[in-house]
Structure 1
Amino acid sequence: MIYIRGYPAPTLFIFSMLTSFYLFTNIFLKLQGFFLTSAEYDEILETLRVVRARRTHSQKSHHQHVSFGGMTFAKNKFSKQAVVKMISNLPKDRIKNCIDYTLKNSLDGYAINDKGEKVSSDDIIKEWSKDFGSHPNSKDAWHLIFSIKEPCSDERALKKLQSSVMEVMNKNFFGHKYSMVLHTHQNNPHIHVVLNKRNIFSDKKIHFDSRDEIKDFFDDVRTNFAYALDQRGLNYTNTSSLSKDLKQEWNKIKKSIKLETDDYFAKDFINDYYMKLQERNKENHKATASRIDVLLEETVVLKNEHERLFQLLINLKKKKNKRWYKVSKEYKEQGNFYVKKLNEIKGEAEKLRKIEYRAQKIAEFHKANYQDKVGGVVRLENFVYNYNQMRKAGFKTSKSDFENFKRAKRAIAIHRKKESELAIKYFDDSLIVSRMLGASDSIFKLDKKLKNLDQALHSLHNSSVGDELINLYDKRLKANKEFITDVVTKRFERVSQRLLKAEKISKDDFLFKEYFKGVEVLGVRADERLLKIKMKKDYIKTF
């Protein structure tokens, strides 16, 4: 091999030929006016890139559009599976550790509760502790995970994930307290949810009779999660929902909710009936309470007169005065009249108790009707979602399925308009019941009123009545809750004083039970001496 200036001779020959060709071409182009500057050359390259990009995107569509019954559905081959898993069924002594674990990798060190508030693990346990079972093996919470396959850096996707999870929790776990924490430290963004299993409306824990029930329940949760994500522009599905029988699903809806348009536009007679009953109850309660106040004032006067006559009798008897017989007769008649007034008060108090009981029951019926309406919308939305998913996947649907689909869409639109009205009636009802306070209401009764207000607050923050009305009712409901809590505190103080002054205390006494109910409601520490009594069958006071 011959080398010239350190390079192989053939290489130098080829290089010289290319250089000569380049110079000749440039001279020719300059003479012809075709010479390209570097800027012009870059412009041509950019144009080529744009053309290629357009050709690449339009080369193959990801969607096939299928027309059916005058409506178009997109058949998407790239839907992702919505993931919902139950990680563990937690006993009460492991709930705080679980929440602390989720907070360890949170963005700001706080969880979001069912009211949308930022809370710590201590705040959560303080609020939930009275819901936990007394049995040592009691399972009181679920640890759930909701996950999507999106970049952890996509802020929009993270917000959609959070709002979707909240929507699912409000639909499938209505009446349950929960905390949720977003994690982005792993490959896929996911949300940890710790759920309080005790429902604030029924006061019962989630329970399933079989594994099939659990499977169906979580299948609905995944379907709702996929639907919520889909509504926010994220393409997710629940593959098991594609195998559902639409006819069977529709029959379930027909049993639980009326779909005739006239029924939806017509006045809700049930709710109006409940409201009229409650208004009548309110008036009766006010009138009865006023009569009791008047009778109490009369009895105070009678009592004073009774005591005066008693002292007069004693003095006359000491002096052996003949007036003693006349005053004795007057004292007896006045005593009978006094007892009669006391019996009247007792009768009116019994009426008041029945009115309060009736008001509480009407509130429960009203609440159940409201929940049924909300639940009906959820079932309709699930049907619409399942229908759309089956169409996207290319499953065959009948003409009757399509007709039901259209009816469901109309019913949802009508329902949503009426939902706010129903919610407002329910919140007004809760306020009426909470104001029906008796002078001698026990802590047990007052606790029921507090729970009723908690239920209304929970429903309020999960309703669609609008921010202005939410703020208005939130203030009123919380003000009533503070007032009743203050009444409980004063009642608790009176009960405590009576117990501590008693010579003999039994743990079966009503006051004793009421005292420890007050400890539970107010979250205060019980007196050590009374705690000792609670551990014994009976106690004779020695202090």
Structure 2
Amino acid sequence: MSNLNRQGFKNALNYVIKHSDNFYCIDDCGRKLETSEVLREWEGDFGTNKNSKDVWHLTFSIKENTTPRNMENLLSATKQVLDKNFFGYSYVLVPHTHQNNPHIHILLNKRNAFTKKKIHFDSREEIKYFFNTMRNDFALALNARGFNYQNKTRLENNLQKELESFRANNLESKVILSESLSKEQNALEKKIKNLEKKSNAVKTILSNLYQEKNQILIEALEAQRDKNKIYFKKFKEVKNYNEKIKSMRNLYKNIALDSKKLKQEFIRLDNYRELDFNKGKDYSSLQEKKRYIEFVKENYAKKNLSKQQIFLLNRFEKEITLKESSMNKILQDSLSSSLITAHLLNTYSNTFTLIKKKKELEYNKIMVLKNHLGLERMDLLDSNTEVIKNLMKMRYNTLEKILKDKSHIAKFQYKEFESLSKELRKSNEEILNALALKIKDKSENLINNNRNNRVGFKNNARGFEVKNVGIDKEIIKSPTQFQ
């Protein structure tokens, strides 16, 4: 879910329409609208502050094949959930079929049409409860249409079983990586085919626009020759057609550029697979990984990356570090634990993520006991809590070794170690005190850096002008500020 301001909403809607099968979105009344039409209709609902968060971006998806029937069921289930939970709120939706899982993007106007009030929650718990209820509704709506879905979080899977499977494959194994490469290449193929289909549709539209424009132009010239005043109206229509043609030509160019970019990414992944899965090609495959990382970072905004792209980037970067560096055992352990955490929790791996997940599990255990949901579920939650604790212990041991060897440490590293100590109930006051003395003081570093810069003073009507080499120029209004 994203919380968007006006510009963010416009960008998001343009993006999801660009990657859809059509050139429009569908509103809650079933009308087909372009971005400009939606903006015009919702304009009065937006706040006066340009950063006012007025629109939600939601996504509903299913893990099924992209067939017309599945898309129809997904669409009707999504509408059912929206109508139940967002009565009186306007929204537009855009179905997507270009990735492995069919999904629908929703952009929802947060201001109610009847009360004129924006959606507001008093606490994070209230937000979590609302979206959990909505996920339950979505699962029920899908099941009523012949599917079998449950509202389960990642923490309700058997993490111990997944961990054993992951370790059995070994971190150096290419099984998981191969699956991710295949998924990403399949997604790229679908996107390329979708863009080709869209490109052909734009060609057809352009051809029709040119024909219609030429016909009106002939009528306008005939009216002008006959001194009929209708020619003013006809020339105005020609002007409108020119604007439409210009817009469609720009769209055609953008589609061609996007298609070229996707094909280049597909070839880079193909080159890597060909090299990496043959013996004696380690150096070449490493170079291909680097090229892929550079290509993705140059051509994609971070917020627009798919899950598979993020996974591949993280994996490639860690593999390059492992193979290129003459690393010690501590760094290898650190990278290994990061990979395990990322795989199990499907998220970025850090200490605070682990602590948050542990607290979620403890909260879920309380809910199970309160609602008498059965020992089987409690056993699974206990097992998953133990897995998270073991990952935290692994991280604690690695971090302790790293920080002990350093003469200076950053404040966030100390906080990370302190948080782990607290969660694991470690009696390590002496270690914490020793590490606290190693924390770098940023303000002290800044003062030392400024002392090394040349400083000149120049009188003017406003006070002293300070000119520094290496830092921005500042105007100091009073000499007393130097005391």
TM norm. shorter chain > 0.5: no
Rg larger in structure:
1
Structure of higher RCO (CA pairs closer than 8 Å, 6+ residues apart): 1
